[in-house]
């Protein structure tokens, strides 16, 4: 098995981890890039005559590369004996280079004997985030580095500059009033290393000064350093650079060009609404290609906003993005000036506030958000997009699923308080649909089936889900098992309506809902078998792929006597409504319309939707 990057914080400082790591990574493994990407900054701080100490050399080629460009007096140390042996062996042709098994916390070197200490990735490795026990070790290392550094010596740390690293570094060196602290952002885009890399340089003065020494920040490719007042200023600059790198990284991935066009003549930036980044349209290559075609642009830059960001308006987003997106604009006027371009978005959902976020072992990251939809505020669970109000449904596809009632012999849309019926909702999410049914159909017994116990807990904690209602039965189990048990069980288990609202993460197959197995022959047969004789299935189908949609409808159609489809106007959802028996074809909407109880807003909404019900 491959040992790659350390998985837990303790592993970083555990010699056993490194032993295993290097046993597998026999060839040089360059943390944060090699001399080609770091050299331009390193050379500012190195002189050929310097005595250089490299701490935690691992099996990096850095010492060899420095040697080959003229720096000879390099001692590299590491606590791992195997890598030291390997380095010694590999550098036989470079006798000036020394490699020794030693700890950076206790080098045994003479005081003030070193001009440059070089650390690439070792500080990051020794001080994982949130590991208090490592702080002491790192303090020892800092003290030791300060001890061995000669006057005007440079302590150079190549790092990802996570906040705890930068704070620890500043906290140690700034109060001494003896070090000039400088932070460089490296342009490592060509190195293949996916994260932004920084170099921290602490330059030692001859003696302590009466006042704090300056702190400076140098952006990649800029000569001039910016002076910063305190640790927060430093962190802000670093964060800005990290943000830019993440942005460029994201955009780099999501720039879609028309393959048939040699020179792009039109360009737009598409902003993915917050919370929609998992949709097929944005999350898959095929989806993004189709988005570009829909936008009718030769080049489309698709921008995913970070969930933690909050923006008051689309204009605010544009302002923040313009300095980046302009760089991607291929459309220039005759003077080479980039032409105006559009920002586009779906813009229908606006996240007002994130109430809670977390991670479930089964479903991964989730968040509960208050969102504005059609000028009304709703609460939804990111995975299932459910609204909190049990009086109305925020999701159009839920409203449409209620049309399944129209195909029932005893129609609950006519007498919602009187018709006894059994409904199973597969996929609970925030529990909104199931909760809505319990609240609005006085005689309905609702079974909610959910695989992930964390989702049930979210429904209870954040959505006032009526789990205690005697008419509500929550089953934490695989919906497929539920279907099999019900289909094979006795008549008392059968349901009048089964609503399938199961999200899937298998976006690559072009099917976000339901998971593909639920459209398999066996599952569809169980769905049919789990219904009463005149029962109705409502299945939420989410795909942008027309072929996938067509195949799904054909499959469902083969298992049920009649099938109707309602396509959403706002969203990608299609709701398939399938009746087990032939009874209601052609569907008599007129007769039904006349008898509906329109005093209830949700039934009024059903009336509007009935027109969209197209029997296939
Ligand atoms: C992330 S690797 C960096 C390797 C190398 N500098 C590079 O750029 O590829 C961290 C290295 O620190 C070494 N190490 C861990 N604790 C150490 C210590 N106290 N003193 C010296 N080296 C140590 C590990 O053995 C490992 O080689």
Contact by Cβ (8 Å): 182, 215 = yes
Kindly state if the Cβ of 311 falls inside 6 Å of ligand 1: no
Q: Contact 194/249 with Cβ under 8 angstroms?
A: yes
Q: Indicate whether residue 107 lines ligand 1 (CB < 6 A).
A: no
Residue of minimum CA distance from atom 27 in ligand 1: 58
Residue 467 Cβ inside 6 Å of ligand 1? The answer reads no
The H or E element containing residue 593 is helix 589-595
Q: Is the minimum distance from the CB of 33 to ligand 1 under 6 angstroms? A: no
Provide the pLDDT for residue 262: 85
Distance 76 CA to ligand 1 centre (A): 10
With a 6 Å cutoff on the Cβ, whether 78 touches ligand 1 is yes
Measured by CA distance, the residue closest to atom 18 of ligand 1 is: 103
Q: Is the model more confident about 280 or about 70?
A: 70
Q: Atom 13 (ligand 1): residue with closest C-alpha?
A: 56
CA–CA dist 219, 214 (Å, integer): 17
**Choice from 86, 122, 133, 156 to test ligand 1 binding pocket (greatest atom count within 8 A of CB):** 122
Q: Are 557 and 563 in contact (CB under 8 A)?
A: yes
List, in order of start, the domains of the chain with CATH numbers.
9-239 (3.40.50.150), 254-347 (no CATH), 383-615 (3.40.50.150)
CB 548 within 8 A of CB 556: no
User: Residue 577 corresponds to which tokens in the numbers above?
Assistant: 């409504």
d(CA 322, CA 125): 36
- Is omega for the bond preceding 586 within 30 degrees of 0, making it cis? yes
* Ligand 1 lined by 120 (C-beta under 6 Å): yes
Find out whether 491 and 448 touch, Cβ atoms under 8 Å. no
Q: Would you place residue 50 in the very low, low, confident or very high pLDDT band (cuts 50, 70, 90)?
A: very high
pLDDT band at 5 (very low <50, low <70, confident <90, very high): very low
Start-to-end CA distance of the chain, whole Å, equals: 52
Q: Which atom of ligand 1 is nearest to the CA of 104?
A: 20
Within 28-177, residue ranges assigned H as helices are: 35-45, 62-68, 81-90, 122-126, 133-148, 163-173
Q: CA of 53: how far to CAs of 72, 82, 135, 459, in Å?
A: 11, 19, 22, 57
- Residue 6 pLDDT grade (very low, low, confident, very high; cuts 50, 70, 90): very low
Share of the chain above pLDDT 70, in %: 75
| For ligand 1, atom 23: residue with the closest CA | 56
CA atoms of 401 and 565, how far apart (whole Å): 10
Nearest atom within ligand 1 for CA of residue 119? 6
Q: Is 586 helix (H, G, I), strand (E, B) or coil?
A: coil
193 CB within 6 A, ligand 1: no
Per-residue confidence band for 362, with pLDDT thresholds at 50, 70 and 90: low
CA 72 to chain centroid: 45
Q: What is the DSSP string of 457-494?
A: HHHHHHS---TTSTTEEEEES-HHHHHHHHHHS-GGG-
Atom of ligand 1 nearest to the CA of 158: 8
Mutating to test ligand 1, I would choose from 125, 142, 192 the residue with most ligand atoms within 8 A of its C-beta, which is 125
Distance 334 CA to ligand 1 centre (A): 53
Residue 205 Cα distances to 92, 138, 218, angstroms:
36, 22, 20
125-169 pLDDT tens trace: 999 887 888 899 999 999 999 999 999 999 999 999 999 999 999
126 touches ligand 1 (CB under 6 Å): yes
Mean pLDDT of 60-75: 95
Whether 80 contacts 55, CB under 8 Å: no
* pLDDT for the residue 585: 45
Atom from ligand 1 closest to the CA of residue 80 = 25
pLDDT digits (tens, 9 = 90+) for 373-397: 545 555 555 543 333 333 445 567 7
Q: Which residue has the higher pLDDT, 384 or 274?
A: 274
Mean pLDDT of 402-426: 88
Distance between Cα 221 and ligand 1 center (Å): 28
Of the candidates 587, 527, 515, 533, the residue with the CA atom closest to the CA atom of residue 556: 527
159 Cβ inside 6 Å of ligand 1: no
Round to whole Å and give the CA distance between 417 and 85. Answer: 81
């Amino acid at each position: 098995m491959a040992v790659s990057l350390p998985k837990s914080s303790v592993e970083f400082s555990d010699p056993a981890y490194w032993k295993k790591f290097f046993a597998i990574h026999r060839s040089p493994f360059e943390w944060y890039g090699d001399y080609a990407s770091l050299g331009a900054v390193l050379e500012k701080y190195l002189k050929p005559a310097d005595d250089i100490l490299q701490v935690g050399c691992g099996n990096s080629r850095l010492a060899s590369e420095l040697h080959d460009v003229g720096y000879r007096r390099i001692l590299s140390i590491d606590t791992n004996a195997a890598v030291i042996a390997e380095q010694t062996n590999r550098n036989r042709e470079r006798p000036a280079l020394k490699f020794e098994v030693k700890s950076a916390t206790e080098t045994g070197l003479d005081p003030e004997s070193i001009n440059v200490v070089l650390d690439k990735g070792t500080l990051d490795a020794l001080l994982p985030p949130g590991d208090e026990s490592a702080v002491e070790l790192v303090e020892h290392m800092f003290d030791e580095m300060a001890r061995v550094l000669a006057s005007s010596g440079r302590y150079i740390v190549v790092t990802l500059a996570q906040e705890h690293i930068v704070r620890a570094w500043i906290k140690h060196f700034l109060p001494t009033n003896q070090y000039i602290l400088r932070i460089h952002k490296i342009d490592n885009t060509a190195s293949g290393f996916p994260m932004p890399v920084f170099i921290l340089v602490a330059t030692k003065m001859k003696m302590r000064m009466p006042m704090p020494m300056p702190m400076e920040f140098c952006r990649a490719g800029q000569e001039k350093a910016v002076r910063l007042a305190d640790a927060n200023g430093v962190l802000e600059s670093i964060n800005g650079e990290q943000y830019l790198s993440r942005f460029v990284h994201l955009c780099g991935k999501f720039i879609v060009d028309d393959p048939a066009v040699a020179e792009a003549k039109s360009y737009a930036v598409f902003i993915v609404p917050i919370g929609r980044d998992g949709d097929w349209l944005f999350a898959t290559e095929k989806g993004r290609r189709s988005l570009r075609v829909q936008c009718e642009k030769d080049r489309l830059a698709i921008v995913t906003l970070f969930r933690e960001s909050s923006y008051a308006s689309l204009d605010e987003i544009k302002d923040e993005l313009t300095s980046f997106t302009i760089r991607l604009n291929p459309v220039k006027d005759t003077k080479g000036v980039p032409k105006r371009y559009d920002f586009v978005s779906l813009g229908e959902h606006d996240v007002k506030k994130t109430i809670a976020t977390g991670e479930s072992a089964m479903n991964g990251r989730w968040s509960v958000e208050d969102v504005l939809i059609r000028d009304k505020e709703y609460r939804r669970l990111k995975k299932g997009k459910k609204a909190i109000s049990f009086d109305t449904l925020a999701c159009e596809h839920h409203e449409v699923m209620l049309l399944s009632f129209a195909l029932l012999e005893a129609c609950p849309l006519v007498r919602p308080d009187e018709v006894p019926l059994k409904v199973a909702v597969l996929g609970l999410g925030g529990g909104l649909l199931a909760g809505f049914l319990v609240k609005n159909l006085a005689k309905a017994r609702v079974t909610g089936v959910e695989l992930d116990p964390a989702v049930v807990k979210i429904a209870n904690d954040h959505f006032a889900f009526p789990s205690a209602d005697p008419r509500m039965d929550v089953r934490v189990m695989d919906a497929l098992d539920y279907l099999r048990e019900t289909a094979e069980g006795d008549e008392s288990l059968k349901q009048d309506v089964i609503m399938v609202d199961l999200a899937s993460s298998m976006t690559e197959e072009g099917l976000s809902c339901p998971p593909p197995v639920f459209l398999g022959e066996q599952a569809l047969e169980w769905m049919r078998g789990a219904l009463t004789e005149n029962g109705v299935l409502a299945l939420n189908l989410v795909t942008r792929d027309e072929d996938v949609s067509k195949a799904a409808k054909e499959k469902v159609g083969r298992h049920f006597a009649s099938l109707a489809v309602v396509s959403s106007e706002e969203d990608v959802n299609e709701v398939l409504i399938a009746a087990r028996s032939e009874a209601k074809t052609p569907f008599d909407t007129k007769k039904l319309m006349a008898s509906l109880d329109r005093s209830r807003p949700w039934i009024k909404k059903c009336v509007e939707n009935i027109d969209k019900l197209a029997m296939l």
